[in-house]
């Protein structure tokens, strides 16, 4: 009889665990988020995963910064919530996120560290899996070396460009001599091979945004260890295998291939990332519409930076 009772308890426990797992499956995965803040749309991203049988954890990307770990995601009766500690020195409160799962979407609020409450909606992120390798066309110049034709100044919805455009063209070089606005191509691209040469001064910081959503980081990386938030990394997500950086002030080269959400990065002729999956948008993205084509965007709000010889071979 004791054995029978024990077996019944085990069966009940298995049923409960199975029910919890099935329930959690509906909220698990990657979510492309749009935050509404003072009538502006701001991109964000969320990933929810299993942590054992019973619990959930995840990662979160806000309008800026890198992916942040979530130690515990609560989910019960289609209600989801989590809290994460401050990311910036100016913040002294947790970010508190709540939502309800309705018709396959997450809809809820974010209580920000400054006390402001904003609304948000999340939809499941596309997998972007390609059934076959694309065929790329011939490389074409997307910077003519003379002027800003084909480019436009852009400020993020939560951080509009301050003052006048600081980007200039001098001697075939696209320069941002000081912090200011970002700049993007007017054309958009799906899958592509991008070639770009850049020169970063000591201590400065920039980035190449693929489709305007995934930042390949640019920093003064000479002599440091590889990192997902330093030169050659997909910001906050993918760490390069090595750091073949040149000294600050020297011209360097990125050759980047993006197919779906799979990226290969060559830095100064060495493959530093090989066919790695980019989980989601990085901080500072133009939007969270991952299924759409997007521009090439250069970051101009973190110090001086220069670019030249910018070409792209788009998939046919």
Domain edge (last residue) among 91, 124, 157: 124
Q: What are phi and psi of 172, to 5 degrees?
A: 80, 10
Q: Do residues 266 and 279 lie in contact, with contact meaning Cβ atoms separated by under 8 Å?
A: no
DSSP single-letter state for residue 140: E
User: Is 97 a member of any domain?
Assistant: yes
- 104 and 32 together in one domain: yes
Kindly state the helix (H) or strand (E) to which residue 9 belongs, with its residue range.
helix 2-25
Between CA 80 and CA 225 the distance in angstroms is 38
- 281 and 305 together in one domain: yes
Q: Do residues 296 and 184 lie in contact, with contact meaning Cβ atoms separated by under 8 Å?
A: yes
- Helices H, strands E: what count in the chain? 1, 21
- Can you give the CATH number for the domain in which 105 is found? 2.40.160.90
- 95 and 242 together in one domain: no
- The CA-atom distances, in angstroms, between 236 and each of 231, 267, 281 are 11, 18, 10
- Can you give the CATH number for the domain in which 258 is found? 2.60.120.560
- 82 and 151 together in one domain: no
- The residues, ordered by sequence, that sit 6+ positions from 22 with a Cβ below 8 Å of its Cβ are none
Q: How many domains does the chain have?
A: 2
- Reference 295, options 198, 208, 179; nearest CA is 208
Residue 71 is part of which domain span? Answer: 28-124
- 65 and 172 together in one domain: no
Q: Which residues of the chain are modeled with pLDDT < 50? A: 4-5, 8-22, 158
| pLDDT tens figures, 240-294 | 999 999 999 999 999 999 999 999 999 999 999 999 999 999 999 999 999 999 9
Kindly state the helix (H) or strand (E) to which residue 75 belongs, with its residue range.
strand 68-76
- 269 and 199 together in one domain: yes
Between CA 187 and CA 38 the distance in angstroms is 29
| pLDDT tens figures, 192-208 | 999 999 999 999 999 99
């Amino acid at each position: 009889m004791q054995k029978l009772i024990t077996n019944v308890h085990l069966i009940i426990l298995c049923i409960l665990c199975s029910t919890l797992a099935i329930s959690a499956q509906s909220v698990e995965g990657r979510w492309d988020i749009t935050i509404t803040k003072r009538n502006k749309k701001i991109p964000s991203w969320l990933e929810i995963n299993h942590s054992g049988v019973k619990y959930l954890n995840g990662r979160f990307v806000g309008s800026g910064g890198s992916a942040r770990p979530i130690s515990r995601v609560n989910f019960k009766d289609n209600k989801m919530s989590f809290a994460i500690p401050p990311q910036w020195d100016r913040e002294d409160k947790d970010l508190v996120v709540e939502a309800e799962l309705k018709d396959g979407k997450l809809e809820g609020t974010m209580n920000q560290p400054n006390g402001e409450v904003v609304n948000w909606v999340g939809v499941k992120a596309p997998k972007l899996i390609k059934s076959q390798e694309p065929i790329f066309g011939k490389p074409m110049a997307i910077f003519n070396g003379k002027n800003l034709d084909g480019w436009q100044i852009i400020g993020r919805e939560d951080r509009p460009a301050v003052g006048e455009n600081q980007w200039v063209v001098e001697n075939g070089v696209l320069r941002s001599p000081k912090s200011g606005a970002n700049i993007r191509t007017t054309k958009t691209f799906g899958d592509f091979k991008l070639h770009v040469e850049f020169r970063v001064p000591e201590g400065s910081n920039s980035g190449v945004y693929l489709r305007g959503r995934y930042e390949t980081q640019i920093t003064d990386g000479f002599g440091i260890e590889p990192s997902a938030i330093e030169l050659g990394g997909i910001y906050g997500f993918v760490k390069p295998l090595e750091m073949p950086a040149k000294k600050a002030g020297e011209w360097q080269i990125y050759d980047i291939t993006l197919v779906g959400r799979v990226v290969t990065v060559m830095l100064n002729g060495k493959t530093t990332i090989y066919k790695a999956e980019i989980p989601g948008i990085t901080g500072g993205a133009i939007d969270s519409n991952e299924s759409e084509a997007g521009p090439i965007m250069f970051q101009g709000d973190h110090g001086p930076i220069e670019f030249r010889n910018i070409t792209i071979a788009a998939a046919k």
